[in-house]
């Protein structure tokens, strides 16, 4: 009989062996009859375990089917994802964990604002009244304002794309020069 933590440890031990570049773990967790939990019971236990971990973000949920726990939701870091997985790893009745948690990054408006301001400063022209406001929502940055040249606009838009977590840039900048 093999528990889920033992299953994970076997794969970790194989990865540590010299010369190993990839591990395909084909071991199967077989629960003794006293460790079996029905789907509803294991789902409840998993969600309770997630709720007791202070570092598990809200919105991460677990469902169970035949001893396989599926984790869903969104987190902002890989460590939050790992925390959610570790919260349910040692539960009695777990045969496998399928992690379907999405990793999402929110844009840091101060980061993007600094990048945009540097781009404006680097491409400043005489009598420049350029002004760009950065609005961030989730992974989207909206740039609003005016610049003197197309080169300034291109630099500002390019700088916004460099921000951590930026997945979309909406350019509402007017070129006035």
Examine the domain organization and report whether 88 and 72 are in the same domain.
yes
CATH code (residue 40): 3.30.1340.30
Examine the domain organization and report whether 47 and 83 are in the same domain.
yes
Examine the domain organization and report whether 138 and 71 are in the same domain.
no
Examine the domain organization and report whether 26 and 99 are in the same domain.
yes
pLDDT tens, residue by residue, 112-166: 888 888 988 888 877 678 889 999 888 889 999 999 889 899 999 999 998 878 8
Examine the domain organization and report whether 169 and 142 are in the same domain.
yes
Which one of 103, 132, 154 terminates a domain?
A: 103
Residue 44 CA neighbour count, 13 Å, CB half: 5
pLDDT tens, residue by residue, 81-124: 888 999 999 999 999 999 999 887 778 888 888 888 898 888 88
**pLDDT for residue 56 is more than 80:** no
Torsion of CA 135, 136, 142, 148, to 10 degrees: 50
Distance CA 172, CA 145 (A): 7
Which one of 103, 132, 164 terminates a domain?
A: 103
pLDDT category of residue 53 using cuts at 50, 70 and 90:
confident
Helix, strand, coil percent content, the chain, rounded in steps of 5: 40, 25, 35
pLDDT value at residue 68: 97
pLDDT value at residue 158: 92
Examine the domain organization and report whether 72 and 16 are in the same domain.
yes
Range of the domain at 145: 109-175
pLDDT, greater one: 63 or 140: 63
φ and ψ at 153, to 5 degrees?
A: -60, -45
Distance CA 52, CA 26 (A): 31
pLDDT, greater one: 106 or 46: 46
pLDDT category of residue 55 using cuts at 50, 70 and 90:
confident
Which one of 52, 84, 103 terminates a domain?
A: 103
The β-bridge partners of 70 are 63, 98
Which tokens in the block code for residue 108?
Answer: 């840091």
Domain total of the chain: 2
């Amino acid at each position: 009989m093999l528990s889920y933590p033992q299953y994970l440890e076997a794969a970790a031990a194989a990865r540590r062996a010299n010369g190993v570049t990839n591990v395909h773990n084909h071991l199967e967790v077989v629960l003794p009859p006293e460790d079996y939990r029905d789907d509803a019971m294991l789902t409840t236990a998993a969600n309770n375990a997630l709720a007791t971990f202070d570092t598990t973000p809200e919105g991460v949920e677990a469902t169970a089917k035949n001893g396989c726990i599926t984790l869903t939701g969104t987190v902002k870091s890989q460590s939050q994802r790992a925390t959610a997985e570790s919260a349910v790893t040692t539960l009695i009745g777990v045969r496998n964990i399928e992690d379907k948690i999405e990793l999402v990054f929110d844009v840091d408006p101060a980061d993007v604002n600094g990048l945009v301001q540097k781009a404006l400063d680097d491409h400043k022209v005489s009598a420049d009244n350029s002004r760009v406001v950065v609005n961030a929502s989730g992974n989207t940055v909206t740039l609003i304002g005016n610049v003197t040249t197309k080169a300034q606009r291109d630099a500002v838009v390019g700088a916004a794309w460099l921000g951590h977590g930026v997945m979309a840039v909406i350019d509402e900048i007017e070129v006035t020069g």
